[in-house]
Each structure stands twice: as structure tokens, then as C-alpha cells.
Structure 1
Amino acid sequence: MANEADSKPVDGQAVRDQLLKLLVEVGPLAVFFIVNARVNIYWGTGAFMVATLISLVASRILFGRIPVMPLVSGVCVLVFGGLTLWLQDDHFIKLKPTIVNALFAVALFGGLLAGQSLLKVVFGEVFNLTEEGWRKLTLRWAFFFAFLAILNEIVWRTVSTDTWVSFKVFAIMPLTMAFAVAQVGLLRKYEQTTD
């Protein structure tokens, strides 16, 4: 029979924090999708930029920091969104996911070549893995980001703008979540015990 101390209740504050983090990250994409569907890609891009800024500020206020990945992505949204609006050319906003994912892939591969797991630097306080675990996790994410960059290039060049926006909102996020969940086995296998 399980000990009552072993079955810890779910921390309500932790659940609320995770839901808030999800809302802060997904909110700008939802705004982008809705405004694009109702008006066009340029209005959608402008709304995406504003929502991204609000999201970054909200992250700082609510959690005391802005995580690295949303910050890099946010800067790219502002740069490529700005180019899209200034030049009235939607190619820039379509290239943004390719460039962001390629940057993450190159950074992770480059870190490994230099003998450093950048994921350990970013998530070392969250996960306690062996060096081999960090290396394998970093390698997997690097390949995944490269895959997302290539996938975005294929999709935006072969479908309509509205279909690409739907792909960005409804395919990329679920793919990323599914990939993250698929890493749980690796996290468990290479977790270091603190005995």
C-alpha cells in the first residue's frame, strides 16, 4: 500500500504558473492567427508584434525573467515583422521560423562541438542529468530544430499564406509538445540521483 507521503497533492500554484506560461507563449500566435484570418497577413503581423511585446513584458512581470528561447524568438518577430510591414513583403515573416529554428540548431550543434551542452546552461536548474544525458538531449533538440527549419521552408513555399499561418499555429506547437513529451524517457534514464 502506498504511503500517503509518497502521493503528493498537485500544487495549485505550480499548475497556475504553467498555464500562465503557456498562455504567455501561445497568446501571440493565437492573435496572429485570428487577425490574419479576419483581415490579412500584414495586420496579423502587426498584431503579432504587439502581442509578442506584451507577452515578453508579462513574462518579466509574472515570472521575474524572460526565458532565452521566447526572447530570441520575440526579437526575431520584431525584426522580421518590422521588415514585413515596412517593405510590404510577407516573405520576411514567413522566413522568421526558419531562421529562429536554424539559429537554435546551429547554437546547439556549435555548443556540442565546443564541448558544451547549451541546454544544460539553460535548463540545468530544472533537470539534473548526467553529461551523456545532456549531450543526447542537446543533440536531439538540435536535430529537431533543424527539422522545423526545413519543414517551415517546404510549407511556406508550397501553400497559401492562410494555410501557412494555420500550419504555424496548429502544427508547429503540437509537434514541439509531442517531441518534448517524447524526451521524458531520456530524462528519466539519465537523471542523476542526489544520494
Structure 2
Amino acid sequence: MSEQNDWRKQALDLGPVLLFVGGYLLVRDQSFAIGGRDYAGFVIVTACFIPILALSNWLLYRLTGKVSRMQILTLVLAVVFGGLTVALNDERFFKMKSTLAFGIFSGLLWIGLARGQSWLEFIMDGALPITHEGWMILTRRLAVFFACIAAANEVIWRGFSTDVFVAWDTFGQMAAMMGFFLAQAGLLKRHSTEDIPPRAR
């Protein structure tokens, strides 16, 4: 991928999140009367976020020729729970999205592990140059991590303000993911296949 396309990909990945946060900060204390019903700013921003996220995924596909399976599942959940949030005028549905998404991710990884397989390797198309054993260890760790993120999301959306939830749902989860993968540097180094003959992997 060219440097220009790489910049565009980053913009498409982060753009919807930044627009969601910016939009929420602008209208969080406002209420909008539409069709005889009052909608909180969070619900309005959610309604705008769904098509923006869908558009960014479509543009990402046009740019790179593919969209990851995790991105597709995230989009589906955003559409379903975002749609319920708007249709029922209840922000709780959108706040549950991360709980279900990470819960599903964790569950799928555990199912694969129970079958002696790393479905993470399948999802990531073998993007990391590590051995099968390395993939299994990473998958196990990520399954636990995703379960923790799902649990944390439940605690945060139920026990804290919407402002805290928005910060967590955007930058908090992103920082947690970055921290997790940075912490796996030792694992990736120990199980690297870059210096191993293909038959020995």
C-alpha cells in the first residue's frame, strides 16, 4: 500500500470515531424534537454515526480491496444496536454494543481454542509472522482480554455518566487495545517465524 493510501486508511479508521466524539461534545446537553418525540443529543449523534461508519467501511473497501471480518461484525452490531437506540429512543442499546461485540469475539476465540485452532490467525489472515504455538498463546490471551473489555464496558455504561462512556468507548478501548498488543512484543519475538525454515513452523 502506498504512503498516500496508508494515510487515507488511517483517516477512514479514525474519522468516524473522531466525528462521533466531536458531534457528541457539540450536542450532549441538547434535546431535539423530531416527529413529536424528544431525542437526546447522544441519540442524534448515534443516528448520524451509523451511516458515517458504513460509508467509511465502503470507502475502505474501495481503497484497499478488503475489510476485516472484525470490522464487518462491528459495523453490523453498530447498525443493529444503533438502529434500536434511534428507533426506541433509548441510548442503552448503543452502549451495550461493545459488551456484545467483545463478548462475541471472546466466545468465538474460545470455541476455536477448544477445537485446537486459532481462529484469530484466520481472522487476521496470518498477518503476524509467528508460529502456530504463538498464535494459540496470543489467541488465548486475546480471548481473556476481550472478555475483560466486555465486562469493563458493562461496568462503565451502567455505573458512570455518558461523558465517561463516550471517552471509554472511543479512546479508552483504543488505548487498551494498543497497550495489549504492545505487551505482546515478547511473545511475538519468541515465536517469530522470520528465521525459521518453512517446514519447521
Tell me if both proteins adopt one fold, taking TM over 0.5 as the criterion: yes
Q: Aligned pair in 2 of structure 1 residues 17, 180: CA closer, same or farther (>3 Å)?
A: farther
Letter in 1 for 2:11: L
CA contact (8 A) 2:99 2:150 kept: yes
CA contact (8 A) 2:121 2:127 kept: no
Query: What corresponds to 2:162 in structure 1?
Result: 161
Q: Aligned pair in 2 of structure 1 residues 18, 179: CA closer, same or farther (>3 Å)?
A: farther
Select between 83-92 and 40-49 the one with higher mean Cα deviation.
40-49
CA contact (8 A) 1:129 1:187 kept: yes
Report how far residue 175 of structure 1 moved.
Answer: 1.1
- Counterpart pick for 2:18 among 30, 34, 49: 30
Q: Aligned pair in 2 of structure 1 residues 73, 168: CA closer, same or farther (>3 Å)?
A: same
1:191 match: secondary structure: coil
Query: What corresponds to 2:107 in structure 1?
Result: 106
CA RMSD of aligned residues (A): 1.6
Matches within 5 A, 1:43-192: 43-192=44-193
Structure 2 unmatched runs, 5+: 28-40
CA contact (8 A) 1:94 1:156 kept: yes
Structure 1 unmatched runs, 5+: 1-11
Distance 1:108 1:19 in 2: 31
CA contact (8 A) 1:106 1:142 kept: yes
Identity of aligned residues (%): 33
Query: How many pairs does the alignment contain?
Result: 183
Q: Deviations over 1:125-145 (max 9, x none)?
A: 422322210110001111111
Distance 1:155 1:18 in 2: 33
Runs of 4+ in 1 over 6 A off after TM superposition: none
Letter in 1 for 2:133: E
Distance 1:19 1:113 in 2: 39
Distance 2:86 2:131 in 1: 46
